[in-house]
Amino acid sequence: MNRARLPLSEMAVIARVFFTTLIFVSGSLCLASNATTGTANPEQAAQQQPAPTLASLVDRDISAVEKQLVEAAEAVPEDKFNFSPETLNIPGSDYKGIRSFAAQVKHVAASNWYIWSPLTGEKLPEGLGNDGNGPANLKTKTEIVKFLKDSFALGHRAAATLTTENMLQSPGKSKSTRLHLAEFGVAHAYDHYGQMVEYLRMNGIIPPATRARSN
């Protein structure tokens, strides 16, 4: 007998829903277990966090990558902010035309706006551009880091809009679901964080996240 097969995209959505539901159930069971076994004293019970929601879980993911990116950007001194591996002239390398560190940071921030703004319905900032490199008028480290932080503030607002009822809906003219857009912003930021870490290492800077683990 032939069996109908779901498209891979639908299977991925179902898997995400199952995973999210599993987290909700696990969190609820843990809270219930503490309540019935009496493992938490009155002070601990008062400090117990509310049960996780889809919005809070995505917000936590955004906070995690935000911390690493912002700390990495702040660790690079002003005079190294426009560094590009191309300037090293490493024999056999092919870094011609690669983004500078400043451009990497602006690219992540600009992408955050393009990815997350459909969830909040907010208007894109002036001069964002279409080349993926962010506003050309942002030159200094202070300006660029602020642009990055503002883009993650948007991410938190976007996460707050998520519910189990709307997570599979497509906002506006987007062909992607709200949940996909929210988490794709996180994945994209991590991708560029990996590149930024290499820039730090090329300049003798230990990434803050690595320093924290070694202490």
Q: What is the pLDDT of residues 105-140, one digit of tens each?
A: 999 999 999 999 999 999 999 889 888 889 999 999
Cα angle 83, 88, 91; round to 5:
150
What is the spatial distance between Cα 99 and Cα 133, in angstroms, rounded to a whole number? 8
Question: At 74, is the secondary structure helix, strand, or coil?
Answer: helix
CATH architecture of the region 53-214: Up-down Bundle (1.20)
Nearest to 159 by CA among 39, 63, 19: 63
| Domain limits, the chain | 1-51, 53-214
User: Per-residue pLDDT for 77 more than 60?
Assistant: yes
Burial class (CB in 10 A: 0-12, 13-18, 19+), 6: exposed
Task: Note if the pTM is more than 0.85.
Answer: no
Question: At 129, is the secondary structure helix, strand, or coil?
Answer: coil
Contacts with 47 (C-beta within 8 Å, 6 or more apart), sequence order: none
